[in-house]
Amino acid sequence: MRTLIVGGIAALALAAGVARSQETAAKPDMHAMMAGQHQMMMSMQASDKKLDDLIAQLNAAKGNDRIDKLIAVVNELVAERKQMANMMSMHGGMMQHMMETSDKK
């Protein structure tokens, strides 16, 4: 009987250790995702600033220079659209990863 109790306690301790190691392993992923999100937000703010600057230049331009400024604005909008599409595909992958890891717990 004593062997059974000691064995049960050892099994519980082992299971707790495995659960704790899995929890610890999951934390760096969350930190990395949060850092990635912060970086994405900073990038979006920089893109917004650049677009604001281009719009101001467009509004101040006259004659043929206005066409060049308009082209610059359109090119920036297209670049932002492509970047957003990439972010959305990465977001879908992160959400799938989080769902898979939460199912394992």
The first and second tokens of residue 5, run together, are: 């109790």
pLDDT value at residue 56: 97
pLDDT value at residue 89: 80
How far is residue 78's CA from residue 17's CA, in Å, rounded to a whole number? 50
SS3 state of residue 38: helix
pTM of the model: 0.55
> Which residues of the chain have a pLDDT value below 50?
1, 25-26
pLDDT value at residue 70: 97
How far is residue 10's CA from residue 13's CA, in Å, rounded to a whole number? 5
How far is residue 73's CA from residue 51's CA, in Å, rounded to a whole number? 7
pLDDT value at residue 22: 53
pLDDT value at residue 49: 94
How far is residue 75's CA from residue 79's CA, in Å, rounded to a whole number? 6
pLDDT value at residue 1: 47
Describe the crossing of helices 64-104 and 2-60 by its angle, rounded to 10 degrees.
170
pLDDT value at residue 53: 96
